[in-house]
Structure 1
Amino acid sequence: MYVGLGLPVTDPKSLLDWATRAEAGPFTTLGLLDRLVYDNPEPLVTLAVLAGATTRIRLQTEVLLPPLRETALLAKQAATLDRLSGGRFVLGVGVGGRADDHVAAGTDLRARGRRMDEQLATLRRLWSGEPYGDGAGPIGPAPARPGGPEVLVGGFKPRALERVARWGDGFLAAAPPSWAGGLFDTVRTSWKEHGRTGSPRIVAQVTAALGPQEVIDEARAAMGAYYASSGVADYMVSGMRTTPGEIRDAIAQFEELGADEVMLYCFGRDPEQADRLADLL
């Protein structure tokens, strides 16, 4: 079982410390969330900085919201990051659902799913070296990974789960073990129905905080603030694992369900959590 770290967003200057600690430990991936109307660092810019401070660990958006972005530029940014990191970039995507993000981006919230389908098709074409279209040729650079960086698709609804088989390489599951298994089964079934060979890579997510009580309290407050407008803040915060036993149990449950990797998502800023989590692993 591989284990990655989801990085906190409330203290961008600490992320280099997080990254170097994670690189020195047993972690396989660094993940970073995406919002527009929120006090978080832009993920592609930030992961590019972290790529320069690391050599082996993967760099993953978890998840980036393509409908907020112009497609050709996103193709170029993702390919550039993949090339400069030596193929370590993983593009995790989702449609998002915050209306204010779409207001700021000037995009249509109601059309976000259809727009992302079109974007994913275009990204795949451009990363394969095909011309953009009439009057516009190919968009470089060529990514390090043939066909483009690995694409993981997040979501919960049937249409979102189908996108994994249509456009993705795997599934990002921000769901507890109690109902993630059903999502995994749906994704695997859709994968076969679409004639895909092999198996989708399954990446699960566990929110975690490990350390003194003030670290846990800060993490809960930060997570509550992030989900404040969602209507499910209390539910999300209640799922945070805060002891070594709880974290190990969650990883074991996802391993039993057949997940390939678990991302331990940290909302608390203290970078020493990376060392504590490494120790319990």
Structure 2
Amino acid sequence: MTHFGIGVSTAVADVAATLKLAERADRAGLDLLTVSDHPYYADRLDAYAEIGVLLGRTRRISGLVSVTNLPTRPAPMLARTVSSLSELTGGRIVLGMGVGGLWDDIARLGFTKLTPGQAVRAFEEGIRLVKLLGGGGDPVTFDGEFHQVTNLEPAAAPMPPVWTGSVGPKSLAVTGRVADGWMPGHAADWLSERYRTSRPIIDKAAVDAGRDPADIATVYNFPGRITAEPLPKTRADDGRWIGGSPAQWIEELTGAVLEHGAAGFVLFGPGGSTPDETAAARWAEEIVPAVREAVAK
């Protein structure tokens, strides 16, 4: 399955527009709504409060916090949050997980500032523990460096797929060992140097762990303009996608799926902004159906 989503605002000031966009995306048949997780900013909504309300206002679309700020959300409680959302929505949730990047801001919330090495180890432990705490089974005791639980019963709901936003080599290897999907950082796409140098690290780690690299999907955050008329160039001199007409988007994304194995795309506006109403409509009503049709052939 190829996933098509849209990134929505977490700004408190945008609540009315965000609810409207989510409901429109659901009616149009998109697969994912994504929100970011920056709890240290007072003008931003809490990511899981927002995704819960958005899922409550929709019927078919899934939610993804892209990506969960794991240092601020202890893994056992995150597992309970996600399994609860799964039960409440009929499984319409994907779990995005991140190492944590803005450590000065994380520390302002009262959480311990970790070294890069510690953060990656905590990240892998967190993913492993969260996965143990879904799908029923025997009580879990986990005595890790950063996470400990004792005789804790897993939730009955299966744990949803875990997608990461790994960037550095060590966290990329974690993705290969334990995750189900990867969203390349900095909106890197399938033609970028970041992808070319990062995906092999994931694949090698997967093989070393006895996994099939093909089981780890690559889903792209993909910002750009959707214009009424074709653009002379769809990519900048540095190779970054600029955008273009619906036909240009359709050609680009179809090629990404068929030639590069892309498993999905989340639309953002230029610079990572929330798409406006016109762009969202062209994405959901013109581009996505045409790419789905072309890929199905």
TM-score, normalised to structure 2's length?
A: 0.75
Contact 1:14–1:271 (8 Å) recurs in 2: no
Higher normalized contact order (CA 8 Å, seq sep 6+, divided by chain length):
1
| Equivalent runs, 1:131-142 vs 2, <5 Å | 131-132=140-141, 136-139=150-153, 141-142=155-156
Match of 1:15 in 2: 18
- Aligned counterparts of 1:126 and 1:140: Cα–Cα separation in 2: 4
Tell me which of 62, 65, 71 is aligned to 1:61. 65
Q: Structure 1 residues 65, 184: closer, same or farther in 2, change over 3 A? A: same
| Between 101-110 and 72-81, the greater mean CA deviation after superposition | 101-110
- Aligned counterparts of 1:70 and 1:186: Cα–Cα separation in 2: 27
Task: Tell me the alpha carbon deviations over residues 54-93 of structure 1, each in whole angstroms, 9 at most, x when there is no partner.
Answer: 2221211111111122222111111111121111110111
Amino acid at match of 1:276: R
Contact 2:135–2:154 (8 Å) recurs in 1: no
Q: Structure 1 residues 131, 260: closer, same or farther in 2, change over 3 A? A: same
TM superposition shift of 1:109: 3.6
Q: Structure 1 residues 244, 157: closer, same or farther in 2, change over 3 A? A: same
- Aligned counterparts of 2:113 and 2:204: Cα–Cα separation in 1: 31
Match of 2:237 in 1: none
Tell me which of 279, 284, 290 is aligned to 1:273. 279
Task: Tell me the alpha carbon deviations over residues 87-131 of structure 1, each in whole angstroms, 9 at most, x when there is no partner.
Answer: 111011111311333212322142322222222222122224433
Match of 2:173 in 1: 162
TM superposition shift of 1:205: 1.5
Match of 1:32 in 2: 35
Contact 1:177–1:250 (8 Å) recurs in 2: no
Contact 2:163–2:183 (8 Å) recurs in 1: yes
| Between 165-174 and 80-89, the greater mean CA deviation after superposition | 165-174
Helix, strand or coil at the partner of 1:36:
coil
RMSD (Å), alpha carbons: 2.8
Helix, strand or coil at the partner of 1:101:
helix
Contact 2:176–2:204 (8 Å) recurs in 1: no
Task: Tell me the alpha carbon deviations over residues 139-176 of structure 1, each in whole angstroms, 9 at most, x when there is no partner.
Answer: 56422x3xx11101112222111112222111112313
Helix, strand or coil at the partner of 1:46:
helix
Tell me which of 191, 195, 206 is aligned to 1:178. 191
TM-score, normalised to structure 1's length?
A: 0.79
- Aligned counterparts of 1:135 and 1:183: Cα–Cα separation in 2: 33
Runs ≥4 in structure 1, deviation > 6 angstroms? none
Amino acid at match of 1:73: M
- Tell me, which stretches of 5 or more residues in structure 2 are unaligned? 143-147, 229-239, 288-297
Contact 1:72–1:139 (8 Å) recurs in 2: no
Task: Tell me the alpha carbon deviations over residues 174-231 of structure 1, each in whole angstroms, 9 at most, x when there is no partner.
Answer: 313332244334323332221114521211111134479xxxxxxxxxxxxxxxxxxx
- Tell me, which stretches of 5 or more residues in structure 1 are unaligned? 213-237
- Aligned counterparts of 1:139 and 1:40: Cα–Cα separation in 2: 33
Amino acid at match of 1:67: P
